Amino acid sequence: MEKTLDKLKPGEKGTVKRVTAEGMIRRRLFDMGVTPGAALMMRKAAPFGDPLEITLRGYELSLRRIEAAGVLLEV
Amino acid sequence: MRIALAGNPNCGKTTLFNMLTGSTAHVGNWPGVTVEKKEGVYKLYPDGVKKGEPIRLEILDLPGIYSLSPYTPEEVISRAYILDERPDAVINLVDATSLERGLYLTTQLLETDIPLVVALNMADALAKNGDKLDADMLEKRLGVPVVSISALKGDGLKELMATTYSAVSFAQNGKRTPNSVLFGHADAELFQKASKIYESEGVGNAVFRALKAVEGDAGEKKALPEIFGKVRALIDEYEGGKSVSDKEAQGLRVKPMPTVPPIKQMRIRADKFDNISADKIAAYNLDAEIWNEVAADVTDELAADIAGETFITDYEALIADARYKHITGEFSPALKRKRDVWELSPSEKVDRILTHKIWSIPIFLLIMFAVFHLTFSENLLFLGVFIPEGSFDNAVFGTDAINAPGVILANALGLLTDWLSGLIGGAMPDGTWYTGLVVDGILGGLFAVLSFIPQIMCLFAFLSILEDSGYMARAAFIMDRLFRKFGLSGRAFLPLLMCFGCSVPAIMASRTLQSDKERRMTIMLSPFLSCGAKMPIWVTFGAIMFAGRYPDLVVYSIYLLGIAVAVLAAIILKRTALKGEAPPFLMELPAYRMPHPRNLVRHVWDKLKHYIIKAATVIIAALIVIWFISSFSFTFRLVEDQSDSIIGIIGRGLAWLFWPLGFGQGADGWKFIVAVLTGLIAKEMVVATMGVFAGMADDPLSLETGELSAAPIAVLIGTLSVPAAFAFMAFNLLSVPCMAAVAAANGELSNKKQTFGAIGFWLGTAYVVAAAVYWIGMYWWISLILLGIAAILITLSKLRSKGIIKLSFGKSKQR
């Protein structure tokens, strides 16, 4: 099933299928290791609901929902 | 010999740099941007014995980066330094605990022709977890020397530097043969051909630049447009004739599916082969017949191989993907993890509480409170409750309560400077102009600057502990949602909070903000959040206004006014001067770590040095000028009555300018104007100046609040109407905080224009708000008019953004 990263619930895992974000955000996502094939897991949302915390490539990454919406996952 | 240190943020680079360079380090800014530039010297002794002449290795600490893309100032600087300045070698520090992400930068550095050594940091931390890292295997596969070190303990540093030195000696003409992980990729042919183009043009770092050109990198296009064009032409040829723009018109950004070789077809997921529609095939620019042929070629075995592959629409994605694929395939096997990847790390366990949905907020507030309490409180841990009144009174440690460490240090320093000025003043003849200059002007100024230091030092020490431990990133994570509404990110929280203590460290802390816009916004908002030095003004007015009945309400209302103005100003700035896309908030949450005392001392000292050098020169000069213009007349004679001094005459001359603000209107109006003007130098001077004008021998600040209302200063303040008094406070609250803050802002902003912009913004806001406060206080119905105007403006801007009406403000072009 396909899902964007911002729709992932805490504890759920997925594999990056495509990065649809554009420009600088796209590049930053790549540089931080969010590339097709990368496995990741949703940890939690911040107390006010945004940003999100995910685990990938052995570290914790925080990103906003709007940025996460540009990452398509296979779950 | 020049050696550059490159690596991710938080990989221990600063620690390594400090260990290598010791006391030789100095910190500055890169030209034009406020990114720290650190340089120092490492002395390499041959044979490891400290004797004879050492080899001096100049170490330059590049800013922490994840990649060499041209998007952030840090990346641009690092890339320009490596490519244009050509250091003799690069040491790439990689945090072994997040190996994959660290090696991503390594794959890019491999493509340069600068000698490269990879230093694996925190391998000891890995061993503690039971993980095993095979450095030899990594070295073989990377093709450059790999050294395991512990920057914190200083292990392996000699070996690292000796290896680096020999890597430099080994390189011919200072060049290493570049290599790229992309040369093993399905499209290696393209990458190699592109590299050949750059090589044949005699460009240095040909492989790196060629690959950047393939990515369509804007920096490379700008640097060498002709060669860049050749690479683009090569890509077109490689893909089969069509120009890039043609393909973009078809909705295929650059990379269509070529007809041959079949290996490239694998970017389409295997499961899509069966049910792909005819028009999609047309969109991929493929003949249906060939497509079917290719699809048939893809056996089940191959399909399984490529199950993770996806269709990639451009080379930027393709290359980033290929790098990570290579890293996970070739380099990651060097690391044998004991723990399951998804298992909670110790750090995540801590985060279950510290970034908890509910608990994180009170914990966060408690930590912030503790920082301020330990810096500014005169009643540490509220122990004063248990100490009976009159039991002890110590100038340093407190009165009937225990002072916080910050206050104790400040008091001790205050005693010392008082003693020194008494000593020097006593040794000089009384009443001469030069005694005045030395004691009041220079020493007064110098000690005023020094008096800030203990509390700045404390704030920075706590800031540094929070940063080093990894909590700061969590604070940004927690607060981001709230701050985004005002065009800021969560990272701006701490600098803004520090403004309530002192604007100077707050402005300096804005350096941790990533975007230039956010930094400017934070600095511009800083005076509105009332700092400690303004407190005496509010306390004095509170004690005197309304016959001293509502002192707390007066103080409270001023703090609220400041916060309200800050919020409004942020919203307005976000829509006007500092408009634009919010910077992305992709941030690593580093593993929690014990802050190291040595780092702490270094960090605090670096900041203090900045402050002392920058702020002291400006403040002392300003104070000498102030002393001069308040002690001398225009005929350069020492005056008895300050109203005859230069500043007194200027104050009177400016009465018309301050007329709309109310407090400048009466016969004594000029005294308040002069107080406001001296307040631009330092807010501590406002009450002192008024005390002088009121003819008080003592400093009003030395009086208890009860005595204040009976003192001459009460008579002076009593000449103001309530609206005028509030306007006076509002102006002091919102205008230029002090010269030290201006100096700090000048250090953090990128150019003089921005500094003057900030000063203008502060003065303008102070003037407008103070005038509004005064006139609304005088005639309440004015607020209705202002509300009406605001409503019209908001409606207009809403309509405009929806495109219902068009407004032009002079800038629109005539067609």
The full DSSP string for B492-559 is GHHHHHHTTT-HHHHHHHGGG-SSHHHHHHHHHHGGGS--GGGHHHHHHHHHHGGGGS-HHHHHHHHH
CB contact under 8 A, A60 and B309: no
B477: pLDDT strictly greater than 80 = yes
Nearest chain B CA: its distance from A73 CA (Å) = 11
Q: Residue B194 — pLDDT band, cuts 50, 70, 90?
A: very high
3-state secondary structure of B675: helix
Q: Which residues contact B411 (CB under 8 A, 6 or more apart)?
A: B395, B396, B397, B403
Q: Using an 8 Å CB-CB cutoff, list chain B residues near A50.
A: 480-481, 484
Q: What is the C-alpha R_g of chain B?
A: 32
CB contact under 8 A, A64 and B480: yes
The region, left, alpha or beta by phi > 0 then psi within -120 to 50, assigned to residue B543 is alpha
Judged by a CB distance cut-off of 8 A, whether residue A1 touches chain B is: no
User: How far is B363 from B369, CA to CA, in rounded Å?
Assistant: 10
Choice between B229 and B283, residue whose per-residue pLDDT is larger: B229
DSSP B316-379: HHHHHHHHHHHIIIIIGGGEE-SS-TTSPPHHHHHHHHHT-TTTHHHHHHHHHHHHHHHHH-SS
- Please tell me which of the candidates B67, B587, B590 has its beta carbon nearest to residue A31: B67
Amino acid found at B555: V
What is the ipTM metric for this complex? 0.95
User: How far is B13 from B335, CA to CA, in rounded Å?
Assistant: 21
CB contact under 8 A, A48 and B101: no
Judged by a CB distance cut-off of 8 A, whether residue B361 touches chain A is: yes
Q: What is the mean pLDDT of chain B?
A: 80
Judged by a CB distance cut-off of 8 A, whether residue A36 touches chain B is: yes
Cα→Cα distances B720→B632, B768, B771, Å: 28, 19, 15
CB contact under 8 A, A30 and B310: no
Q: Give Dmax over CA atoms of chain A in angstroms.
A: 30
* Interface mutation vs chain B, best among A32, A41, A56, most B CBs within 10 Å: A32
* Nearest partner of A23 among A66, A75, A74, A73, judged by Cα: A66
Cα→Cα distances B378→B183, B419, B542, B633, Å: 66, 22, 20, 42
Average pLDDT over residues B674-678: 87
CB contact under 8 A, B482 and A18: no
Give me the domain span that covers residue A35.
2-74
pLDDT at B3: 95
pLDDT at B248: 43
Judged by a CB distance cut-off of 8 A, whether residue A28 touches chain B is: yes
CB contact under 8 A, B358 and A47: yes
Q: Which residues contact B138 (CB under 8 A, 6 or more apart)?
A: B118, B120, B146, B331, B334
Q: If you measure CA to CA, which chain B residue comes closest to A36?
A: B321
Q: Using an 8 Å CB-CB cutoff, list chain A residues near B337.
A: 58
Judged by a CB distance cut-off of 8 A, whether residue A65 touches chain B is: no
CB contact under 8 A, A35 and B320: yes
pLDDT at B185: 83
Q: Which residues contact B116 (CB under 8 A, 6 or more apart)?
A: B89, B90, B91, B92, B109, B110, B144, B167, B176
B180: pLDDT strictly greater than 80 = yes
- Please tell me which of the candidates A13, A35, A62 has its beta carbon nearest to residue B589: A62
Judged by a CB distance cut-off of 8 A, whether residue A31 touches chain B is: yes
Judged by a CB distance cut-off of 8 A, whether residue A9 touches chain B is: no
Amino acid found at B550: Y
| Chain B, window 59-118: residues with a beta carbon less than 8 angstroms from a chain A beta carbon | 66-67, 69, 71, 97-101, 104
CB B571 within 8 A of CB B541: no
CB contact under 8 A, B584 and A63: yes
- Please tell me which of the candidates A30, A55, A58 has its beta carbon nearest to residue B320: A30
pLDDT at B619: 64
Nearest chain B CA: its distance from A34 CA (Å) = 9
Q: Would you tell me the crossing angle of helices B669-681 and B646-653 to the nearest 10 degrees?
A: 110
Q: What share of chain B is helix, strand, coil (3-state, %, to 5)?
A: 65, 5, 30
Choice between B569 and B647, residue whose per-residue pLDDT is larger: B569
User: How far is B121 from A75, CA to CA, in rounded Å?
Assistant: 34
Tokens read off for B765? 């806001």
Cα→Cα distances B225→B71, B207, B213, B535, Å: 19, 16, 10, 59
pLDDT at B259: 31
pLDDT at B241: 52
CB B79 within 8 A of CB B24: no
DSSP secondary structure letter of residue B632? B
pLDDT at B723: 93
B486: pLDDT strictly greater than 50 = yes
CA quadruple B150, B153, B159, B165: dihedral positive or negative? positive
Cα→Cα distances B103→A49, B106, B454, B529, Å: 32, 5, 42, 43
pLDDT at B615: 61
Set out the domains of chain B in order of their start, with CATH numbers. 2-179 (3.40.50.300), 188-336 (no CATH), 517-581+639-802 (no CATH)
Q: If you measure CA to CA, which chain B residue comes closest to A49?
A: B481
pTM of this prediction? 0.77
Neighbours of B217 (CB within 10 A): 21
Q: If you measure CA to CA, which chain A residue comes closest to B8?
A: A32
Q: What is the C-alpha R_g of chain A?
A: 11
Condensed to tens digits (0 to 9), the pLDDT of residues B576-602 reads: 877 766 677 888 898 888 888 888 888
Backbone phi, psi, residue B403, to 5°: -75, 155
Of B85-99, B147-161, B249-263, B626-640, least confident by mean pLDDT is: B249-263
B442: pLDDT strictly greater than 80 = no
Q: Using an 8 Å CB-CB cutoff, list chain A residues near B584.
A: 24-25, 28, 63-64, 67
pLDDT at B276: 45
Condensed to tens digits (0 to 9), the pLDDT of residues B524-570 reads: 999 999 887 888 888 889 888 887 788 888 888 998 999 999 999 99
pLDDT at B33: 66
Average pLDDT over residues B687-709: 68
* Nearest partner of B263 among B367, B320, B214, B190, judged by Cα: B190
Nearest chain B CA: its distance from A68 CA (Å) = 10
List per-residue pLDDT tens for chain A, 75 residues long. 889 999 999 999 999 988 888 877 888 899 999 998 899 999 999 999 889 999 998 899 999 999 999 999 998
Q: Which residues contact B71 (CB under 8 A, 6 or more apart)?
A: A24, A27, A28
CB contact under 8 A, A26 and B324: no
pLDDT at B770: 95
Instruction: Give chain A's domain count.
Output: 1
Long-range contacts of B253-260 (CB under 8 A, 24+ apart): B253/B313, B253/B314, B254/B216, B254/B313, B254/B314, B254/B315, B255/B312, B255/B313, B255/B314, B255/B315, B255/B318, B256/B284, B256/B285, B257/B284, B257/B285, B257/B286, B257/B311, B259/B286, B259/B287, B259/B290
Neighbours of B812 (CB within 10 A): 9
CB B592 within 8 A of CB B465: no
Average pLDDT over residues B807-812: 50
Q: Would you tell me the crossing angle of helices B206-215 and B225-239 to the nearest 10 degrees?
A: 60
* Interface mutation vs chain A, best among B8, B314, B587, most A CBs within 10 Å: B587
CB contact under 8 A, A36 and B347: no
Nearest chain B CA: its distance from A7 CA (Å) = 17
User: How far is B64 from B639, CA to CA, in rounded Å?
Assistant: 57
- For B370-460, list the strands marked E by DSSP: 393-394, 398-399
- Please tell me which of the candidates B69, B337, B586 has its beta carbon nearest to residue A61: B586
pLDDT at B705: 59
Q: Using an 8 Å CB-CB cutoff, list chain A residues near B363.
A: none
Of B359-368, B389-398, B434-443, least confident by mean pLDDT is: B434-443
Of B123-137, B253-267, B425-439, B530-544, least confident by mean pLDDT is: B253-267
Q: Using an 8 Å CB-CB cutoff, list chain B residues near A75.
A: none
CB contact under 8 A, B100 and A33: yes
Q: What share of chain A is helix, strand, coil (3-state, %, to 5)?
A: 20, 40, 35
| Chain B, window 529-588: residues with a beta carbon less than 8 angstroms from a chain A beta carbon | 584-588
Tokens read off for B591? 């593993």
| Chain B, window 678-707: residues with a beta carbon less than 8 angstroms from a chain A beta carbon | none
pLDDT at B698: 59
Q: Using an 8 Å CB-CB cutoff, list chain A residues near B217.
A: none
CB contact under 8 A, B321 and A64: no
DSSP secondary structure letter of residue B308? T
Q: If you measure CA to CA, which chain A residue comes closest to B107?
A: A31
Q: Using an 8 Å CB-CB cutoff, list chain B residues near A61.
A: 586-589
Q: Using an 8 Å CB-CB cutoff, list chain B residues near A67.
A: 584-586
Chain A and chain B share a number of CB contacts under 8 A equal to: 143
Burial B236-274 (b: 16+ CB within 10 A, else e): beebeeeebeebeeeebbbbbbbbeeeebbbbbbbeebe
Judged by a CB distance cut-off of 8 A, whether residue A69 touches chain B is: no
| Chain B, window 732-771: residues with a beta carbon less than 8 angstroms from a chain A beta carbon | none
CB contact under 8 A, B482 and A30: no
Average pLDDT over residues B388-413: 82
* Nearest partner of B114 among B137, B81, B146, judged by Cα: B81
User: How far is B612 from B34, CA to CA, in rounded Å?
Assistant: 18
> In this structure, what CATH number is given to the domain that contains residue A33?
2.30.30.90
Q: Residue B703 — pLDDT band, cuts 50, 70, 90?
A: low
Prior bond to B505 cis, omega within 30?
A: no
* Nearest partner of B207 among B215, B216, B198, B219, judged by Cα: B198
Hey, which of B51-65, B462-476, B717-731 has the most confident mean pLDDT?
B717-731
Average pLDDT over residues B662-673: 88
